Amino acid sequence: MDTAQDIENDKIIPFPSPVMIQEDKTIDNKTHLKLRIIKDRLFKYIVIVFSLLSFLPLLLILFHITKNGISVINWSFLTELPKPIGEIGGGIYNSIIGSLMLILLSSIISIPLGISAGIYLAEANKGRLSNIINLCIVVLQGTPSIVIGIITYLWVVAPLGGFSALSGGIALSIMMLPVIIKSTEETLKLIPYHLKEASLALGVPYYKTILKVILPTGISGIMTGILLSVARITGETAPLLFTAFGNQFLNYNIFKPIDSLPYRIFYYAMSPYPEWHGFAWGASFILVVIVLAFNLIARGVSAKWKVQF
C-alpha cells in the first residue's frame, strides 16, 4: 500500500525536469554554461537584496522610535500622570501601571487554564477529542483581536454596565490561551517517556508524576511560552478599545476603566497636538523595550533553564 503511494509520489516530483534534460544536450556550449552561471548569480543577488530590503522597515521603525522616543523620556514622563492639553509636562505613569495590571489579570486567568489544557493534550491519546481541541486552538489563534474585543464587550462590559480593567484582562487572556496551551503541549511531548516510567515505578501516583516530575522538567519551555504570549498581548490595542478602554487617571480598581501603553499611543497618535505625538513616540519606546525584554527573557529562559536529559 505504501509502495504504491511512493510510486505515485515519485511521479509528482518534478525531477529530472525537461528543462534540465534540454540543457544537458548543450552541456559543452561554453557560452551557455556562462549564461547559466550568470543567471544563478543574479538570482542569488536578487534574493539577498530583497531579503535585506525587507529588513529596512525594521531599521527605520527602530530608528524613529529611538530618535523620537528618547528625547521625550525623562523621570517625570515615567512617574507622572497625563496633564490636560495646554499644560506642559505630564507622563504615562497610569498607562504603565495599567499595562502591568492587565498583564497580571490576563496571566492569572490564562496560565492555570492554559497549562492544564496543555497537559491534557500532551497526555491524552491521539483521538478525535484532542484533534477537535487542536483545531479550536488554531481557530482561536487566528481569530482577529478586534473580534475578541467585541466578544468580551458582549460577555463582560455589557452585563457589568461599563468598561473595566477586568474585561480588558479577560480579552487579553483569551489571546494568551492558545499560545500557552500549544507551548505546554509541545514541551511536555518532548519529555522522554522513561522519566515518567521512572517516577511511576517508584510508586508515585500519576497526577503527582505529572505535577512533580513532568512539569518541573518542562518548566523552561512552558515559561518561554508564557513570556512570549505576554510579549504578544502587551502590545495589543484592538481588544482593549471597548473593554479596558482608557483612563487618564491612575486606577487600581479592576471594575473601572484602566489605561494601557498601546491605548495611550493610539490616543496620542490620533490627536491633533504635536506635543502629544511626541508622547506617543515616548510611550512607543517604552512599549517596544518592554516587548523586546519579554522576548529576550523568554530566550534566556529557554536556554538557561533547559533541562538536559
Partner 1 sequence: MVMKSEKDTSEKRFKNIILVSGLSVIILLIAIFLTLLIASIPAIKTFGLGFFISKHWDPSLEKFGALPFLYGTLITSFLALIISIPFSIAISIFLGEYFKDGLLSTFLRSSTEVLAGIPSVIYGLWGLFLLMPITRYIQTLLGTTPYGVGIFTASLILSIMIIPFSASIGREVVSLIPADLKEAAYSLGATRFEVIKNVIIPYARSGIIAGILLAFGRAIGETMAVTMLIGNSNFLPKSIFSPANTMASVIANEFAESTGIAASSLVYIGLVLFLVTTLVNIAGTYVIKKISLEASKEVT
Partner 2 sequence: MESSVLRIESFSAFFGENQVLKNININITPNKITALMGPSGCGKTTLIRCINRMHELIPHARVSGHIYLKNKDIYEMEPIALRRKIGMVFQKPNPFPMMSIYDNVIAGYKLNGIKLKKEEADHIVERSLRDAALWNEVKDSLHRKGTFLSGGQQQRLCIARALAMNPEILLLDEPTSALDPKSTAHIEELVVELKQNVTMLLVTHNIAQAARVSDFTAFIYLGELIEFGPTEKMFTVPKDKRTEEYLTGKFG
Residues that bind partner 2 (CB under 8 A): 125, 192, 194-195, 197-205, 208-209, 212-213, 216-217, 219, 307-309
Q: What is the smallest separation between the CB atom of 163 and partner 1, expressed in angstroms?
A: 9
- CB nearer to partner 2: give 156 or 191: 191
- CB nearer to partner 1: give 162 or 252: 162
- CB nearer to partner 2: give 32 or 194: 194
**In 3-state terms, what secondary structure has residue 72?**
coil
One residue of 108, 136, 198, 307 binding partner 1 per CB under 8 A:
136
Residue 260 vs residues 108, 111, 123, 152, 212: alpha-carbon distances, Å:
18, 21, 38, 17, 37
One residue of 29, 47, 190, 250 binding partner 1 per CB under 8 A:
47
Question: How is residue 74 written as a grid cell?
Answer: 525623562
The answer to whether residues 75 and 266 touch, using CB atoms and an 8 Å cutoff, is no
**In 3-state terms, what secondary structure has residue 250?**
coil
- CB nearer to partner 2: give 129 or 198: 198
Task: Give the list of residues 6+ apart from residue 74 with CB closer than 8 angstroms, or none.
Answer: none
Q: What is the smallest separation between the CB atom of 97 and partner 1, expressed in angstroms?
A: 18
**In 3-state terms, what secondary structure has residue 242?**
coil
Could you tell which of partner 2, partner 1, none binds residue 1, using a CB distance below 5 to 8 A set by kind?
A: none
Please give the size of the binding site for partner 1, defined by CB under 8 A.
100
Task: Give the list of residues 6+ apart from residue 190 with CB closer than 8 angstroms, or none.
Answer: 218, 221
The answer to whether residues 210 and 183 touch, using CB atoms and an 8 Å cutoff, is no
The amino acid present at 42, given as its one-letter code, is L
Determine the straight-line distance between the first and last CA of the chain, rounded to whole angstroms. Answer: 38
Could you tell which of partner 2, partner 1, none binds residue 70, using a CB distance below 5 to 8 A set by kind?
A: none
One residue of 234, 247, 251, 302 binding partner 1 per CB under 8 A:
234
Question: How is residue 304 written as a grid cell?
Answer: 538557561
- CB nearer to partner 1: give 17 or 253: 17
Task: Please tell me whether residue 303 binds partner 1 under the rule CB under 8 A.
Answer: no
Q: What is the smallest separation between the CB atom of 121 and partner 2, expressed in angstroms?
A: 16
Q: What CA–CA distance (Å, rounded) separates 133 from 139? A: 10
Task: Please tell me whether residue 151 binds partner 1 under the rule CB under 8 A.
Answer: yes
Residue 189 vs residues 36, 120, 300: alpha-carbon distances, Å:
47, 11, 21
Could you tell which of partner 1, partner 2, none binds residue 199, using a CB distance below 5 to 8 A set by kind?
A: partner 2
Could you tell which of partner 2, partner 1, none binds residue 308, using a CB distance below 5 to 8 A set by kind?
A: partner 2
Residue labelled with grid coordinates 523621570: 75
> Binding marks (x or -) toward partner 1, 49..78, rule CB under 8 A?
xxxxxxx-xx-xxx-xx--x----------
One residue of 113, 195, 254, 289 binding partner 1 per CB under 8 A:
113
**In 3-state terms, what secondary structure has residue 29?**
coil
